[in-house]
Every structure is written in structure tokens, then in C-alpha cells.
Structure 1
Amino acid sequence: MLTSTTMNILNVHGCYRLQPPISHLSQNTHPTSPTTHHKSKLCYVSSPSILSPYPQFHISKTNPKLRNVRVSEIESPLWTQNNDREENTGSPEDLTMNGDAYQKTLRLVECSMFAALGGLVYILSSSLAIENYFGCFFALPIVFSSMRWDIVAGRKTMVATATLLLVLAGPIKAITYLLMHGFLGLAMGSLWSSKANWGVSVFVSAIVRAMGAMGYVVMYSFLIRENILALITINIHASATFILTSLGYLAIPSMNVIYAIFGTLLLLNCCFFVFLLHLLYALFFTRLGMKASLRLPKWFAKAI
């Protein structure tokens, strides 16, 4: 009697036999006839839905939400693992000791440090009125940068030092540094990095120093509204006249002779100063282990 009652219940719901979940899903997905499709809608609670442990999904071909979903329309991602691997394999090579990025960063850091050191020493020396005692060391950072890296590094050090002095001490200090020490250090560094002869290096550097000194005199003449060059030539003229008179010569030298004497004395002074700088810097670089990059005279190489 229980069996007949169960069959009647199943007949009422329109479900005649038990089907596995896969067959039931296939019937709901692909209906074979309108009657079967109508029966599947009438079976609200059927035996497969009760006995199956898996959830049932009713998929219809006419569903507008799922019609446009295709696997082929998925776009490729912008980031891939291969690109990440290429970046990871390329970056450590640049960060090694011989890498391009590491060398550029090291050169920039050293130029900045030398510029800061040179500017600080110059400002302290000017403030304490001991510039004449430490004047031989102001061009050293520029020469060292040019010797260690190249001429471009020395020029960057000079420009950075002048910019620092312009910000901290004003334009007068910056221009004075460039005329008296900056261009001299750049000329020495350029000649030493190209391994020029000491005679050529001393002569060219002395000319650069003399031109810087003339520019310094002209600048301060403009600032104090007084012709310092005329005062210098007048004193030289008076001294030369006194010397000639004391020797028994009654002659007055012309201004061209005075200018020639002034230029010669200035060039000799610069030559002696630059020669002392060559000796001092060569000794300093030799103690640092940079003797191989220097072209020293034989007498000086034997002396050290």
C-alpha cells in the first residue's frame, strides 16, 4: 500500500522515474520537447533533487546575461610574469660595482660631496679671514673629480660649488671663487686627466690664473667705483722711475713699458703659484695611490 501511494505522488508531480543528477541537468539544459520542458518546470520538488548531494543549476540557452560570455573575448592582461622576470634579471646587473647605473650614482654623489666640502671651506676661510692660508686647497676638489672620473665631473663640481656659494654667500663670493680658483682647478684637472706635460700644464694654468686675477680686479673696480688697475700701474711707474733715478738714469718709462712690466710680474706670480700647486697636488695624489694616473717629471718621481 505504501508503494502504491508513492507511485501516485510521483505521477501527480509528473516524474515517472529517478534520474541521476547529470541526466537531469542535460534534460533541463537541452529539452527535447515542449512537454518535457513543461514537466521539468512543474517538478518543483523531485526525487533527484532530494537524493542528489550536488546542487542543481538550471541553464537556459536563451538567458541574455550568459549569451555574451565567451572565453575567446577575455583580454590578455597588461602585466605578465615574463615581463617581471625580464625586469628582475636586468636590474641587478646595473646595480653591481661595474654597472652603469651604479657608476653614474657614485659619480654624482662624489661630485656633490666635493662641491659641498669646497664651498664650506671657502666660506669658513672667508669668514675667518684665513683665505690666504687655505687658498691652495680651494681648487683641489675640482682637480680630484677630474682625475677620478672625467672633465665633465670636474665641471659639474665647479658649477655645484659656485651655485652653493651663490645661495649661501651671494654672487660676489661665487664669482670670486670662479675667477680665482674654479677655472684654475678645471684647467689643471683637464690637463692632468689628459696627461699633459708639466711645462704645458703650468704655463696654461698660469695664464688662466692671470686672466682670473684680472677679472677679479675689474670686478672690484666696478664695485668700489675706483680704477684699481690705474692705481697699480701708477705705483709701478713711480717705483720704476725711482729705481732708474737711483741707478743714475734720467729716464721716464712709457706706459707701454709699465703695462709690460705689470703683465710679466703677474704672469711670474701665477707661474710660481701654479707650480707649487702642481707639487702639492701631485704629492697628495701619490699618497692616495693615484700615481699611475699622473705624468710626473723624472726628478719629482725620483724624489718621492
Structure 2
Amino acid sequence: MLASTTMNILKFYGCYRLQPRNTHFSQNIHPISSTTYCKSDLCILSSASTISSCPRFSPSRTGRKMRNVKVSEMGAPLWTQKDDEEENMRSSDDLTMNGDVYQKTLRLVECSMFAALGGLVYILSSSLAIENYFGCFFALPIVFSSMRWDVVAGRKTMVATATLLLVLAGPIKAITYLLMHGFLGLAMGSLWRSKTSWSVSILVSALVRAVGAVGYVLMYSFLIRENILALITINIHASATFILSSLGFLAIPSMNVIYTIFGTLLLLNCCFFVFLLHLLYALFFSRLGMKASLRLPKWFAKAI
């Protein structure tokens, strides 16, 4: 009676408890509720009602779901051995004599060497008071860098030289170098790089030199608290008045005439200086084998 009642209860829940074969091990196993194995693969269905209550999987529905599933395609790899080989070949090509990396490194090294050489020569000349004798060579590194590479290299050489002088000799020496030699060398290098005629190059370079000379005078006037430019014009006025009076003229020149005379003399001085620089630098570059990159006058090309 009890056994039949237990079976009816198990039938009501739709499963029954599994009994282990060995009763010796079953004593050590904790009792498990009948609902643990209910509606699972381990359950034994006992009635048709229980079978109908379990979920059924329709093959058509499963196939429809499987058709909606899409498998992602395998993309191309981000890195391959071929890419690594191409990168190695590209890096090896850049390190050759005509490679981009090699040329940039060579330009940087040459600009640094020219800047160091120009700054050292300028400091030694100023310290030994022989600046007037070597003043024609101070703009040479900038012009050479511009002719050897480009205008950007010449500008970098000028800036590096001025920075070196600023650190070693102070701001006065650095500004003096820029006004008297730096901007002149950059102007000459730019004009020669573009193969401008000597007449235009000499005129423009002379104007740059004249403006630098006026700036140099104004800078030292500010430093010593004295108007050097006014002293120069007063001396010119006195000299002109003395010359006119010695010639029998009693006229006194005005200050506008004095300023015109001063500007003309300054421009002539700068033109002669720049013309000598053109001759010297053209001869120097021709001896170095850079004659083809220069635009020389016919009389000078025949002379050399």
C-alpha cells in the first residue's frame, strides 16, 4: 500500500528518484529531492501527460533558426611577414647615400659644424681684436649651407651660430653678428640659390648690410646712452661746411642734404664690401667644384 502510494506521488511529479546500485555507497550520499532530476535527461517519464508537458523542439523551427545564423568571415591579418620585409627594405633604402634619412642627417651635421665653426671664428676674432681682418669670412658658412642644401639650411646655420654666441659671449655679440653678418649671409645665399644676377644680388645685399649697420649704431647708442647717429651727422655737416667755405661758397647745407650724403656714403661702402664678398665667395665655390650652381658674370667666368 505504501509502495503504491509512493509511486503515485512520483507519477504526479513526472519522475522518480534514481536508486544507486550499491547500497553501501548510498548510505553516505545525502538525500536528493525529487525535483532535482525533474524534466531533465536523467528523468524517466512515466505517463503520456508527463511526456506531453515536456518541451518539444520542432525540426523546422530549429532549421529556421540555423538559417538565420551567420558566420563572420575571417578578415585579413593586421601584420604579415611580407609587410615586415617591405619595411626592412624601405629602412635600408633610407640609410643609403641617396636615402631621405641619410640626407637629412648629413644636412643637420653639416649645418651644426658650420655654425660651430662660424661662432668660434667670430669669438676668437673679437677676443684678439682682428675682427676687421676676418670680417669677410663670417657670412661664408651661411652662404655655403644655402648653396649646398637650401635656404632653410642657411637659416638654421644662422640661428645656430647666433644661439652659440648668445650662450658663449652674451646677447650683444649675438645681435651684432646677426646685424652685420648673419642677415647679409642669408640674403646672399638666398639670392645665389635662386641664381639672381649679380647686379640685383649686390644691390639687395648692400641694402641689407646698410640696414644692419644702422641697427648696430642704434643698439650701441642705446647701450652707451649717447646718440652716435647724431654725432655722425654733425661731423658730416661740419666737414661739408668746411669744404664749401674753402671752395668759396658761403652756403650752409641743410640737415636733409646731410642725411642724403650720409645714406649715400653708407650705401656705397656696403656696395663695395658686398662686391668684394661676391668675388671672394664665387672664387671659393668655383674651386670647390660648385661653379655649375653659380650664375657668374661673363667677365668673371672668363677670368677664372
Shorter-chain TM-score: what band?
A: 0.7 to 0.9
- Is 1:270 the counterpart of 2:241? The answer is no
Equivalent in the alignment of 1:117: 117
Give, in whole Å, the separation in 1 of the partners of 2:80 and 2:193: 48
Equivalent in the alignment of 2:100: 100
Question: Which structure 1 residue ranges, 4+ long, deviate > 6 Å from structure 2?
Answer: none
Which letter does structure 2 place at the counterpart of 1:208?
V
Equivalent in the alignment of 1:185: 185
How do 1:33-112 residues align onto structure 2 when only pairs under 5 Å count?
81-112=81-112
Which letter does structure 2 place at the counterpart of 1:124?
L
Question: Displacement, 1:79?
Answer: 7.3
Q: Greater Rg, structure 1 or structure 2?
A: 2
Question: Displacement, 1:119?
Answer: 0.3
Equivalent in the alignment of 2:211: 211
Using structure 1 for the length normalisation, give the TM-score.
Answer: 0.74
SS of 1:96 mapped into structure 2? coil
Give, in whole Å, the separation in 1 of the partners of 2:83 and 2:287: 49
Give, in whole Å, the separation in 1 of the partners of 2:82 and 2:208: 57
Give, in whole Å, the separation in 1 of the partners of 2:82 and 2:272: 65
Question: Displacement, 1:81?
Answer: 4.0
How do 1:23-42 residues align onto structure 2 when only pairs under 5 Å count?
none
How do 1:142-291 residues align onto structure 2 when only pairs under 5 Å count?
142-291=142-291
- The Cα offsets for residues 229-282 of structure 1, whole Å up to 9 and x where unpaired, read as 000000000000000000000011000000000000000000000000000000
Question: Displacement, 1:78?
Answer: 8.8
Identity of matched residues, %: 90
Question: Displacement, 1:87?
Answer: 2.6
Q: CA RMSD in A?
A: 1.7
SS of 2:276 mapped into structure 1? helix
Consecutive unaligned residues of structure 2, counting only runs of 5 or more, are 1-19, 22-76
Give, in whole Å, the separation in 2 of the partners of 1:142 and 1:253: 42
Question: Displacement, 1:86?
Answer: 2.8
Consecutive unaligned residues of structure 1, counting only runs of 5 or more, are 1-33, 36-76
Give, in whole Å, the separation in 2 of the partners of 1:83 and 1:237: 78
Q: Which moved more, 1:80-89 or 1:90-99?
A: 80-89
Using structure 2 for the length normalisation, give the TM-score.
Answer: 0.74
- The Cα offsets for residues 57-115 of structure 1, whole Å up to 9 and x where unpaired, read as xxxxxxxxxxxxxxxxxxxx997644432332211100111111111111111100000
